[in-house]
Structure 1
Amino acid sequence: MASGSSTSLRALLLLGGALALSGCNATDLPGFLSGGGGETTPAAEATRSVERDVEAPEVFQVADSGLWDGRPSLGGVWVAHPSVTDPERVIIRNTSNGQFVIGVVYRPERVTPGPKFQVSSDAAAALEMLAGQPAELNVTALRREETPEPVEAPAAEAVAAGSVATSTLDPIAAASEALDAAQSAPAMSAAAVTPPAAAPAPAPAAAPVQSSTLDKPYVQIGIFSVESNARSTADTLRNAGMVPSVKEGKLSGKAFWRVVVGPAATAAERTALLEKINGLGFTDAYAVTN
């Protein structure tokens, strides 16, 4: 009798499973299995801001003769001109031979007779100027300009509609297999179930680093056309107890290296840095934004 009841129950379950499977249609399937009709949305085009140097003649531009007196100088690539009010990052061109270099223009400590531009030894080397021989220079201020640059977003690996292979199932066979699997599976004891291990406690968040509120928290020591000169200057500052950074830049295919110290958190700290740097002989150092 028990065998007959089991057979009847099995028949009823098979019939119910067949009806349930045959009643399913495409609208009842999960979204990733339902076919066609969907539209793919193209990935949004991403952009990023890229800083680049542009000439700013409205800030400073002077064409005048310049002279290197033949003596070595500190501070990298620079020129000095009496019309300057504040130090500016500039492009310096030697119009007689077409050479150019990125540097800084300062106001000279004292005005000397002769050519208006005083030229540092590093600038003279980059511009191929000879000691004691004047050259015509064109000096133009530079400014950082942010320009949007498209970034190719990686294509999302999505399953295209209709790409999932499907086949028609025999509802009786499917229901029979499911019932056989359920009856043959061993019972799982409660003791066999292992509770998941507790997640480790999150590490305490690091204290936020105090950022500087100064508009110009860094002190720039100089701009160099030769990387080894920039590294050597940075070593001098490091040996004096400061933490310098060497920042590489490029303009019109030419690389240059800036040496800066900072950021200073307060104006008093920045002043102390400047005094210490000046004491090492870098008297043309000045505050910059970054």
Structure 2
Amino acid sequence: MKFSIWHMRATGTACALLAIAACEPVVDSQQAQAPSETPVAATPQATEVEVATPRPDLYSVRALAAWDGRPSLGGAWIAHPDVASAERASITEVATGRTITAALFRRDPSIPGPPFQLSADAAQQLGIQPGVSVELDVVAVRMTTVTAPQPTPIAEPTVEHAVAEADSPTPEPVEQVTPVETVATTVPEPRPEPTPPPAPTSAPTTDAAPERPYMQVGTFGVAANAAALVERLQAEGLNAKTVAAGALTRVVVGPASTTAEQAVIRDTLREMGFTDALAVAL
């Protein structure tokens, strides 16, 4: 009987130890050793853009140009007798430095007037008034595609870095010392007496003679029609005459001695209906 009681006590103790061991939490080794996730920075992607590359070896001319004041089709373009084939060109007005990009075509060399002929859109983009000749620098361009890389994005901080910043102690604020203002006493320097400007040696020129003193009114294939127009212009008090241009006859008014006089002639011609008159030099 004593052996049986001892055996029962030993068996109960072993069962109690097994129950306690079963209640202890089990730690997953893979979960304990799993590293923290770190975001991967995105790879910058490049984009392709088109740029205009100057090609003076294909075409480069500096000459006078004008717009006749009439509306034109085809957008912004410029034409010259020496153009072999259609191109894209960079057009720069020499006086103002304003530059645009437009189409470049060939024009009929028999048409009188400045070498370059502008469309209405090109003249308006350059700020050129109708009937006024300006000097342009025209250079052919070719559109090329280049690769422009995108800026590299800033990578977000990792979990370990964020936790480390959160656990780092906050530095105590340092008391700022306000500096004491000091006022420096300065003695003003004596101002020099103003020197009167030198007297001009000669009076400035108020109005100079225009480079193209004639206003071209029209071009005729029949000389009798040109002569009839000259008589009409002379009846209005204008100094008109005919000028031979090969098989054609040009009708011009002038010469004007000043730009102001040329402006009066141009306004008179426009009132008579000749809105496409151009300033030319014979």
TM-score range relative to shorter protein: 0.3 to 0.5
TM-score where L is the length of structure 1: 0.43
TM-score where L is the length of structure 2: 0.44
Which structure is larger by alpha-carbon Rg, 1 or 2? 2
